[in-house]
Amino acid sequence: MGYARRSICWAQPDQLTVPLPAESAVVRFPCCTLASFSALITICVAAAAEPAEPTAFFEKKIRPVLVQHCYKCHATDAKNVRGGLSLDTRAGIRRGGESGPAVVPNKVDESLLVSALRHESFEMPPDRKLPESVIADFEKWISMGAPDPREGTARVSQSGIDIEAGRKFWCFQPIANHDVPNVDAVAWPASNIDRFILRRLESERLTPAADADRRTLLRRAYFDLIGLPPTQEQINAFLQNESPEAFEQVIDELLRSPHFGERWGRHWLDVVRFAESSGGGRTLMFPEAWRYRDYVIEAFNNDLPYDSFVMQQVAGDLIETSDWQEQRRNLTATAFLLLGPTNYELQDKETLEMDIVDEQLDTMGKAFLGMTIGCARCHDHKFDPIPTHDYYAMAGILKSTQAVIHSNVSKWNEVSLPMSARDEALVEQTEMQVAAIQKDLKSLKAQLSKAGGKIGDGATSIDPESLAGTVVDDTQAEKKGTWTVSQSVGGYVGGNYIHASESTASVTFAPILPIRDKYELRITYTPSGNRSPKVPIRIHHAVGEDVVFVDQTTKGSVSRTIDSLGVYDFDPKQKPRVIISPDGAASGVVIADAVIFIPEGAAPELAVPSEAARKAMQERAALKKKLTSEIKALEEQIKQLQTTGPQREVAMAVTEMEVVGDIPVSIRGLVHNPGPVASRGVLQVALHSEAPNIDGDQSGRKQLAEWIADARNPLTARVMVNRVWYWLYGKGLVPTVDNFGATGGTPSHPELLDYLANTFMEDGWSVKKLIRRLMLARTYQLNSQPNPQASSIDLDNRLLWRMNRRRLDAESIRDSILLVGGNLDLTIGGSNIAAGTSSEYGYDFKSTRRSVYVPVFRNELPQIFATFDFADPNTQIGSRSSSTTAPQALLLMNHPLVMKQAEAAAAQLLSRQDLTTAERIHHAYEQVLGRTPNDREVEIAARFIGDEPQTARWGLLYQTLFQSLDFRYLK
Amino acid sequence: MMTSNDIRFSRRTALKSLGCGFGYLAAKALAQREAHAAIANPLLPKQPHVPPRAKRVIFIFMQGGPSHVDTFDYKSRLAKDDGELLEFDDARTLAKTKKITSHRVFKSPWRFRRYGQCGQHVSELFPHIAEHVDDLCFIKGMHTEGVAHGPSTLFLHTGSINLVRPSMGSWMLYGLGSENQNLPGFVSIQPSSGNGGPRNFGNAFLPAIYQGTPVGRAGTPATTARIENLYNDLLSPANQREHFELLRALNAEQLSRRPGDQELEAVINSYELAWRMQQHAPKTLDLSTEPAHIQQMYGIDEKGTDDFGRQCLMARRLAESGVRYIQVTYGDNSNNPRWDQHSNLPMHATHAFNTDKPVAGLLADLKQRGLLEDTLVWWGGEFGRTPYAQANGTGRDHNPDGFSVFLAGGGVKPGFSYGATDEFGHHAIKDKVHMHDLHATIMHLLGLDHERLTFRHAGRDFRLTDVHGQVIDGIFS
Read off the pLDDT of residues A799-851 as tens digits, 9 standing for 90 and up.
Answer: 999 999 999 999 999 999 999 999 999 999 999 999 888 888 889 999 999 99
Residues of B in contact with A10 (CB under 8 A): 454, 460-463, 467
Q: Check whether residue A544 and residue A458 sit in a common domain.
A: yes
Residue of A797, A881, A929, A970 for testing the chain B interface, max B β-carbons within 10 Å = A881
Task: Name residues 194-233 of chain B within 8 A of A (Cβ).
Answer: 194-199, 204, 207-209, 211, 213, 219-221, 228-232
Q: Which of A665, A689, A721 is the last residue of a domain?
A: A721
Q: Which residues contact A724 (CB under 8 A, 6 or more apart)?
A: A767, A770, A771, A774
Three-state secondary structure call for residue A120:
coil
Does B93 contact A at CB distance below 8 Å?
A: no
pLDDT band at A367 (very low <50, low <70, confident <90, very high): very high
* CB contact burial A244-262 (16+ within 10 A = b; e otherwise): eebbeebbeebbeeebbbb
CB-based contact A669:A274 (threshold 8 Å): no
- Minimum distance, in Å, between the CA of residue A736 and any CA atom of chain B: 4
- Minimum distance, in Å, between the CA of residue B143 and any CA atom of chain A: 8
pLDDT band at A159 (very low <50, low <70, confident <90, very high): low
How many inter-chain contacts (A to B, CB under 8 Å) are there?
292
- Is B442 or A137 the better-scoring residue by pLDDT? B442
Closest-approach residue (CA) in chain B for A861: B198
Is B231's CB within 8 Å of A966's CB?
no
Residues of B in contact with A282 (CB under 8 A): 148-150, 195, 335
- Is A249 or B44 the better-scoring residue by pLDDT? A249
**What is residue A1's predicted lDDT score, i.e. its pLDDT?**
37
Q: In Å, how far are A804, A930, B68 from A971, measured between CA atoms? A: 7, 11, 59
CB-based contact B195:B337 (threshold 8 Å): yes
- CA–CA gap between residue A153 and residue A166 (Å, rounded): 31
CB-based contact A354:A666 (threshold 8 Å): yes
* pLDDT averaged per 10 residues in sequence order, chain B, 477 residues: 37 36 40 50 88 97 97 96 92 82 94 96 97 98 92 94 90 95 93 87 88 89 90 88 94 86 83 91 94 97 96 97 97 87 91 98 98 97 95 89 96 96 96 97 97 88 93 95
Asked whether residue A636 is assigned to any structural domain, the reply reads no
> What angle separates helix A246-256 from helix A214-226, to the nearest 10 degrees?
20
Asked whether residue A882 is assigned to any structural domain, the reply reads no
Asked whether residue A558 is assigned to any structural domain, the reply reads yes
Q: Check whether residue A596 and residue A671 sit in a common domain.
A: no
**What is residue B10's predicted lDDT score, i.e. its pLDDT?**
39
Asked whether residue A9 is assigned to any structural domain, the reply reads no
- CA–CA gap between residue B54 and residue B446 (Å, rounded): 5
Point out the residue among A280, A541, A941 whose CB comes nearest to the CB of B150: A280
Task: Name residues 360-399 of chain A within 8 A of B (Cβ).
Answer: 366, 372, 383
Task: Name residues 322-361 of chain B within 8 A of A (Cβ).
Answer: 333-336, 340-344, 347
**What is residue B163's predicted lDDT score, i.e. its pLDDT?**
80
Is A881's CB within 8 Å of B208's CB?
yes
| pLDDT one-digit tens code per residue, A772-807 | 999 999 999 999 998 888 888 888 899 999 999 999
| pLDDT one-digit tens code per residue, A300-346 | 999 999 999 999 999 999 999 999 999 999 999 999 999 999 888 88
Residues of A in contact with B96 (CB under 8 A): 347-348
Write A448-454 long-range contacts (CB < 8 A, 24+).
A448/A624, A448/A627, A448/A628, A448/A631, A451/A620, A451/A623, A451/A624, A451/A627, A452/A604, A452/A620, A452/A624, A453/A604, A454/A604, A454/A606
CB-based contact B77:B423 (threshold 8 Å): yes
As beta bridge partners, residue A579 has A508, A538
**What is residue A612's predicted lDDT score, i.e. its pLDDT?**
55
**What is residue A513's predicted lDDT score, i.e. its pLDDT?**
87
| pLDDT one-digit tens code per residue, A257-276 | 999 999 999 999 999 999 99
Min mean pLDDT across A74-88, A113-127, A157-171, B16-30 is at: B16-30
| pLDDT(A394) > 60 | yes
Using alpha carbons, select from B65, B138, B73 the residue that is nearest to residue B407.
Answer: B138
Asked whether residue A213 is assigned to any structural domain, the reply reads yes
| pLDDT one-digit tens code per residue, A911-928 | 998 899 999 999 999 999
Point out the residue among A10, A33, A957 whose CB comes nearest to the CB of B460: A10
- Minimum distance, in Å, between the CA of residue B406 and any CA atom of chain A: 21
| pLDDT(A22) > 80 | no
CA atoms within 13 A on the CB side of A713: 25
**What is residue B17's predicted lDDT score, i.e. its pLDDT?**
35
- CA–CA gap between residue A222 and residue A216 (Å, rounded): 10
Asked whether residue A818 is assigned to any structural domain, the reply reads no
Task: Name residues 286-305 of chain B within 8 A of A (Cβ).
Answer: none
- CA–CA gap between residue B281 and residue B227 (Å, rounded): 8
Q: Check whether residue A556 and residue A677 sit in a common domain.
A: no
pLDDT band at A79 (very low <50, low <70, confident <90, very high): low
Closest-approach residue (CA) in chain A for B208: A883
**What is residue A458's predicted lDDT score, i.e. its pLDDT?**
36
Is B277's CB within 8 Å of A869's CB?
no
Point out the residue among B184, B253, B462 whose CB comes nearest to the CB of A10: B462
Is A372's CB within 8 Å of B459's CB?
yes
Domain count, chain A: 5
| pLDDT(A854) > 70 | yes
Does A891 contact B at CB distance below 8 Å?
A: yes
Q: Check whether residue A314 and residue A404 sit in a common domain.
A: yes
Strands B325-330 and B186-189: parallel
Task: Name residues 9-28 of chain A within 8 A of B (Cβ).
Answer: 9-12, 14-16, 19-22, 24, 26, 28
Q: Check whether residue A593 and residue A489 sit in a common domain.
A: yes
Asked whether residue A618 is assigned to any structural domain, the reply reads no
Min mean pLDDT across A240-244, A490-494, B45-49, B421-425 is at: A490-494
| pLDDT(A611) > 70 | no
Strand blocks (E) in B129-258 = 136-143, 186-189, 213-215
CB-based contact A166:A172 (threshold 8 Å): yes
Does B254 contact A at CB distance below 8 Å?
A: yes
The structural domains of chain B, ordered by start, are 1-40 (no CATH), 56-227+297-475 (3.40.720.10)
Strand blocks (E) in A747-898 = 806-807
- Minimum distance, in Å, between the CA of residue A410 and any CA atom of chain B: 13
CB-based contact B465:B145 (threshold 8 Å): no
CB-based contact A862:A840 (threshold 8 Å): no
Q: Check whether residue A228 and residue A314 sit in a common domain.
A: no
Asked whether residue A845 is assigned to any structural domain, the reply reads no
Closest-approach residue (CA) in chain B for A409: B148
- Minimum distance, in Å, between the CA of residue A675 and any CA atom of chain B: 20
Residues of B in contact with A14 (CB under 8 A): 459
**What is residue A19's predicted lDDT score, i.e. its pLDDT?**
34
Residue of A545, A899, A969 for testing the chain B interface, max B β-carbons within 10 Å = A545
Q: Which of A793, A816, A838 is the last residue of a domain?
A: A793
Using alpha carbons, select from B340, B153, B93, B354 the residue that is nearest to residue A545.
Answer: B340
Domain around A111: 56-143
Does A282 contact B at CB distance below 8 Å?
A: yes
- CA–CA gap between residue A735 and residue A726 (Å, rounded): 8
Is B242's CB within 8 Å of A863's CB?
no
CB-based contact A408:A661 (threshold 8 Å): no
| pLDDT(A25) > 50 | no
| pLDDT(A15) > 60 | no
Q: What percent of chain A has pLDDT over 70?
A: 90
- Is A511 or A159 the better-scoring residue by pLDDT? A511
CATH of the domain at A543: 2.60.120.260
Q: Which of A109, A128, A143 is the last residue of a domain?
A: A143
| pLDDT(A424) > 80 | yes
* CB contact burial B169-206 (16+ within 10 A = b; e otherwise): bbbbbbbbbbbbbbbbbbbbbbbbbbbbbbbbbbbbbb
Residues of A in contact with B255 (CB under 8 A): 965
- Say what the pTM is: 0.73
- CA–CA gap between residue A208 and residue A632 (Å, rounded): 77
ipTM of model: 0.74
Q: Check whether residue A409 and residue A458 sit in a common domain.
A: no
Closest-approach residue (CA) in chain B for A3: B145
Q: Which residues contact B474 (CB under 8 A, 6 or more apart)?
A: B418, B431
Q: Check whether residue A410 and residue A272 sit in a common domain.
A: yes
Q: Check whether residue A574 and residue A488 sit in a common domain.
A: yes
pLDDT band at A514 (very low <50, low <70, confident <90, very high): confident
Q: Check whether residue A510 and residue A599 sit in a common domain.
A: yes
Q: Check whether residue A516 and residue A459 sit in a common domain.
A: yes
- CA–CA gap between residue B359 and residue B382 (Å, rounded): 18
**Amino acid at site A300:** F
Using alpha carbons, select from A368, A186, A264 the residue that is nearest to residue A770.
Answer: A264
**What is residue A616's predicted lDDT score, i.e. its pLDDT?**
67
* Whole-number average pLDDT of chain A: 86
Q: Check whether residue A717 and residue A732 sit in a common domain.
A: no
pLDDT band at A214 (very low <50, low <70, confident <90, very high): very high
